[in-house]
Amino acid sequence: MQMYKRRQISSPIYLNTITYIFVSIAFILLTPKVNGQNNFDHHSDSIAIITTSSNQEVRGILIKENKQIITIETANEERTFNKNEVRHIRYITRNEIFNSKEFENPNPNYTRYCFMPSSFINKPAEFSTSSHYFVTANSKIGLHKNIEFSIGDFLLFNLYSSITFSKNITNHFLGRRSLTAAGSVMGNYLIDINNNNSNNINGWGGIGRITLGNEYRNSSLGFIGYNMNLFGGFFYGGYLGSQIKIKERFTIAGESVGLTFDNVQYLFLNSIILNWIRNSSEDWSVGVIYIGTNVQNGIININNNALVVPYVGYQRRF
């Protein structure tokens, strides 16, 4: 009798427990979530970049968003946009801000400054051409992640070529900046169509450099050594180049080059240029070059002369 009563008492408790569990599950499944289908939470530390239907771009801290509207804070002012007036929305979180690049695309001229190269080279199978004053032409292609080959001409008949080896040393030098080193072996040859025995124009040499920075901003210290009869044999020197991307389409670059002949004679060149990206495949450069010279030999006689000339350059990528 007592056992029967225990079963009678325990059965309602068991049924009530089962009923409570089912009701709880149904309540959880059927109750709409605050940040579910109707609302989207990108956290208060997210930045929303809104492109409106009129192509206006507005950035601000995300305050509130649902299927109909999005509200952001810009300059201590809350602005609300209807979704049907918005063409595109991009979100940037706090971590993405710290890890993001300053610009979407690198400087297309990050492999050189004006005349002198940085330690960066063209990527494998990447092909590009450049010209100074439209009287030179230089084409280069990346053969390997560490090797680049180039060939060009000056006034068509003076050919020059180089092969470069580049190697990234570390990505964490002086904090977040990388350190890259490169060396180039090069030479030039004059095609003597008039048989004037102008072999004094021919030469060979090399450039070694080290670059601190990346494709958006970098500085290089380089050393030059070249042998050419035109300058009385072997000359040497160094250069310092630097560049920084200031806008998505604009980069400022500058370099200082000093060359020494016989420990006395010299050539000093300073340049500053502005590079403008015209489109995805070509860009133009304009600037000013200061040239100081004191070269005297049997071929060249320029004594303590200084020139300031404009600069025009062009580069195309394929």
Gap between the Cα atoms of 17 and 267, Å rounded: 95
Gap between the Cα atoms of 64 and 295, Å rounded: 70
Would you state the pLDDT for residue 95?
Answer: 58
| b/e 32-49 (16+ beta carbons within 10 angstroms → b) | eeeeeeeeeebeeebbbe
Over the chain (318 residues), what is each successive 10-residue block's mean pLDDT?
45 51 52 44 69 85 88 85 89 60 76 94 93 93 95 87 93 72 93 68 92 91 89 85 91 92 76 91 93 62 73 92
Strand partners, 296: 301
pTM above 0.75, yes or no: no
Helices (H), the chain: 2-30, 94-99
Would you state the pLDDT for residue 96?
Answer: 57
Would you state the pLDDT for residue 75?
Answer: 74
| b/e 77-116 (16+ beta carbons within 10 angstroms → b) | eeeebeeeebeebeebeeeeeeeeeebeeebbbbbbbbbb
Q: How many CA atoms lie within 13 A of 85 on its CB side?
A: 10
Strand partners, 318: none
Would you state the pLDDT for residue 57?
Answer: 83
Would you state the pLDDT for residue 175?
Answer: 54
Would you state the pLDDT for residue 313?
Answer: 94
Given a contact cutoff of 8 angstroms between Cβ atoms, the answer to whether 212 and 234 are in contact is: no
Angle, CA of 30, 34 and 37, to the nearest 5°:
70
Q: Domain ranges in the chain? A: 1-31, 47-99, 127-317
Q: Which fold has domain 127-317?
A: Porin (2.40.160)
Strand partners, 274: 252, 286
User: Structurally, what CATH architecture does the domain formed by 47-99 represent?
Assistant: Roll (2.30)
Secondary-structure breakdown of the chain: helix, strand, coil percentages, each rounded to the nearest 5: 15, 60, 30
Q: Report strand pairing: 250-261 vs 265-277.
A: antiparallel
